[in-house]
Structure 1
Amino acid sequence: MAVTGFLKQVKDLKQQEVAHLTAKVDMGSLRALAESATPAGNFLTALGQSTPAKVGIIAEIKKASPSKGPIRPDLDPFEHARRYTRGGARAISVLTESNFFKGSLADLEAVRRATHLPILRKDFIFSEFQIYEARVAGANAVLLITPLMDPGELAAYIALAREIGMEPLVEINSERQFETAAKAGATLIGINNRNLETLETDLKVAQRLAPFFSQDLIPVAASGISARSDIEAGIGSGIVNFLVGESIVRAQDTEAFIGELLGETDRDTAAQTPLVKICGLTDPDEAVQCQGLGADAIGLVFYEKSPRHLSIEQAQKITRALPRETITVGVFVNADHGYIMERVTACNLRAVQLHGQESPELVKALARSGIWVIKTLFAQQQPGFDMARAYEDAWGFLVEDGRGTLPGGNARPWEWNRAARMETTARTRLILAGGLDPDNVQQAVNDVGPDMVDVSSGVERAYGKKDLKLVKKFIQAVKGTAKV
């Protein structure tokens, strides 16, 4: 398909870039890496959950644009991804094109380290190489721009993306392009209000094209969205997912601005449901059932003194049984780097929880490997809450009392509100643990406002054996709370 204007210019540059890179790569090996990658998040599932009352915002990492030039050249992808996640974004888009948008795959990799949200690689993609490298970098979705390829290629790349675990967002700007995308098998279709050949923007494009969508197709409006009124206009046309770039990047208060787009008049009282981690699983079937009941994370204990301790082989059976989007967490106590990494690799763990007196240097080394590191801090022993700043590379802090005979909460309730006063860095999540159960977790969440809650013995019938009725009750209690 012949393209003109800016789209031709950027395609010509990208073809040269891709040709140069592919000459150095074994495509078979790259595909194997892509097929083995299992980044957290499911793009299609996330957008499918949007409703008129709770729209989905895909917040974009965007440093520059061809029409506006530099927007925020000093943007920190890691920090912005944290803000987007806290603000309530449903997914994150990362521009990786370097010539006009000043992005890179390194930006995407930084975002992957920062968040559990699904990630879209936004670039000018027209080769299997680009699709493979997106997955390897941690993407859950890729942007496919309809006029960049002929219909046969589009259908093939949609299928290829799905084969390696990604859902493509297929971009259109006209009725004709919509027909091409639909016939090619697209499910998520992005309506770009900006014509990429002329760079002209018209917010009525999405409203004009939305009526063509059948119920099995999901429209995503993009470009020019800068206020809640734009969101409401889209909702009126049947659109409930919106990709927002420049206006989010320019916002003085990122989280508050996302709240405004979502229609939340007061971010201080906006509902944000904590993630739920069920820890100490020993049975694959129970782990799968916990995930099915709504658990976001599953904790696997690698500490020999624990009655819930797992061998590598036992843990592998659990992680292989779980859906890809599950956050699998290995729990370690004063283990060395080699011991941890052996299990991370063998069991395909997404995160590690360090539950002893591990050093800040170990946390940094693990984080640099792209692993989410949860460091436990204790109210009654060291490292205490005052050590938070020393562990600034941690993905999150799990906080508990620390008075038990074994590492862990030991089913002991404690003064949870002490955690709410803990000073942390802007990059870290607060994970509340220790003595939680279905009857007290709602009050604990309301008192502390954590990003995640962690439970083990509070939902058990025996060590390592979960009572699924208690698990269900616990998760329902959490999902009914509001972070305040």
Structure 2
Amino acid sequence: MTGAFTAALLAARRPVVMELKRQDATGRDLFGGRSVEEIVAAYEDVGAPCLSVVTGHWFGGTGSLLRDVVRATRLPVLQKDFITRRSQLEQAARDGASAVLLTAALLPRSTLGSLVEYGAGLGLTPFVEVTTEAEALRVPHAEDCVIAVNNKDITARERGAGDVARSFGLLPALRRTGTPCPVSASGIERPAVAARLVREGFAGVLVGAGLLRTDDLPGWLDDFDRERREPS
């Protein structure tokens, strides 16, 4: 089963999941006075296939932010938060999410399996985030999931630059899971890095602060396109 979020990313000309996050891990503002509607419109203008919304309070997120984004777009939307209960999946579905983040490092295998199955039954794509080969290989029903490598350290609340080498190292394991949509997420600031990840075999990349901080969003995406064709 391929959900709307996965289908949109796999069919995208620019396979970049573009994220709305109010602040970074150190508390610095990322919206810069822009409204949700302005950011969503900018992402749609550069061809975003789908969006990600961080609702976790670490990053200044709220449930209302998800609802605001869903009202502003027809694109599939991923909710990123620390989801551990079925009731949270039910709320995500009511709020209009198309996909939900499940963090493998935080969930026992049985709980992860239960949430993957329950979320899929609600029409939500499980977006399962991993940081090790062992986590990747224990994702149940991987064929129905996006499996994403988190390049940052969640135990440190994702402070620091991140390590994109983790994604390259784990790509073979992700392929073995059977997921149709391996993704690299977090710590991707430069378009050349994003392009290399896609060239090497990731179906997409998730970029948040790198896009929110740039003063030339169309130029960032143009550089991404160019690097995919002609790596420097």
Q: TM-score range by the shorter chain?
A: 0.7 to 0.9
| Separation of aligned partners in 2, 1:184 and 1:220 | 13
- Partners of 1:184 and 1:92 lie apart in 2 by 21
Change (3 A) 1:207 1:182: farther
Structure 1: distance between partners of 2:141 and 2:41: 37
Confirm or deny that 1:234 pairs with 2:197. Answer: yes
Indicate if the aligned counterparts of 1:59 and 1:244 stay in contact, CA closer than 8 A: yes
How far apart, in 2, do the equivalents of 1:216 and 1:129 lie? 28
How far does residue 139 in structure 1 lie from its aligned partner after superposition? 0.5
> Counterpart of 1:112?
70
Counterpart Cα distance in 1 of 2:28 and 2:109: 32
Q: Which SS does the other structure have where 1:263 is aligned?
A: helix
Of 122, 125, 128, which aligns to 1:170? 128
Q: Which residue of 1 aligns with 2:31?
A: 72
Backbone CA RMSD of aligned residues:
2.2
Q: Does 1:260 align with 2:223?
A: yes
Alignment of 1:40-439 (within 5 A): 42-50=4-12, 54-67=13-26, 69-72=28-31, 74-98=33-57, 100-182=58-140, 187-198=145-156, 199=158, 200=160, 201-212=162-173, 213-214=175-176, 216-217=178-179, 218-263=181-226
Task: Tell me, yes or no, if the aligned pair for 1:158 and 1:185 is still in contact at 8 Å.
Answer: no
Q: Deviations over 1:404-434 (max 9, x none)?
A: xxxxxxxxxxxxxxxxxxxxxxxxxxxxxxx
Shift of 1:166: 1.0
Contact 1:64–1:73 (Cα < 8 Å) also in 2:
no
Letter in 2 for 1:237: E
| In structure 1, C-alpha distance between the alignment counterparts of 2:65 and 2:223, rounded to whole Å | 26
Larger Rg: 1
Contact persistence 1:87–1:256 (CA under 8 A): no
Q: Offset at 1:219? A: 0.8
- In proportion to residue count, which structure has more helix? 2
Report the secondary structure of 2:83's partner residue. coil
Identity of aligned residues (%): 28
Contact 2:24 2:30 in 1 (8 A): yes
Instruction: Indicate conservation of the 8 Å contact 2:142/2:178, yes or no.
Output: no
1:135-166 C-alpha deviation (Å, 9 max, x unpaired): 11111000000011100110110111111111
Aligned residues: 221
- Work out the CA distance in 2 between the residues paired with 1:232 and 1:73: 26
Distance 1:185 1:220 in 2: 14
State the distance in 2 between where 1:130 and 1:208 align. Answer: 32
Q: Give yes or no for contact 1:152–1:184 (8 Å, CA) kept in 2.
A: no
SS in 1 for 2:187: coil
Could you tell me whether the CA contact under 8 Å between 1:87 and 1:259 is conserved in 2?
no
Q: Which runs of 5+ in 2 are unaligned?
A: none
Note the C-alpha offset of 1:256: 3.5
* SS of residue paired to 2:220: helix
Change (3 A) 1:135 1:255: farther
Q: Is the 8 A contact 2:116 2:141 kept in 1?
A: no
C-alpha spacing 1:133/1:263, structure 2 compared with 1 (3 Å)? farther
- Residues of 1 paired with 2:92 and 2:32: CA distance? 22
Q: TM-score scaled to structure 2, two decimals?
A: 0.87
Residues 63 and 75, structure 1, Cα contact 8 Å, conserved in 2: no
User: CA 1:142–1:156 in 2, change beyond 3 Å: closer, same or farther?
Assistant: same
Q: Tell me the amino acid that sits aligned with residue 211 of structure 1.
A: P
Q: Is the 8 A contact 2:137 2:177 kept in 1?
A: no
Equivalent-residue separation in structure 1 for 2:170 and 2:14 (angstroms): 19
Please report the TM-score for the alignment, with normalisation by the length of structure 1: 0.43
Q: Within 1, Cα distance between the matches of 2:10 and 2:178?
A: 10
- Provide the C-alpha distance between the structure 2 equivalents of 1:204 and 1:132, rounded to a whole number of angstroms: 35
Q: Which has the higher contact order (CA 8 A, sep 6+)?
A: 2
Q: Secondary structure at the match of 1:176?
A: helix
Q: Which runs of 5+ in 1 are unaligned?
A: 1-40, 266-484
Provide Cα deviations, 1:186-237, integer angstroms capped at 9, x if missing partner. 5210111001113351110001001121484121101111222102321243
| Contact 1:84/1:255 (8 A) holds in 2 | no
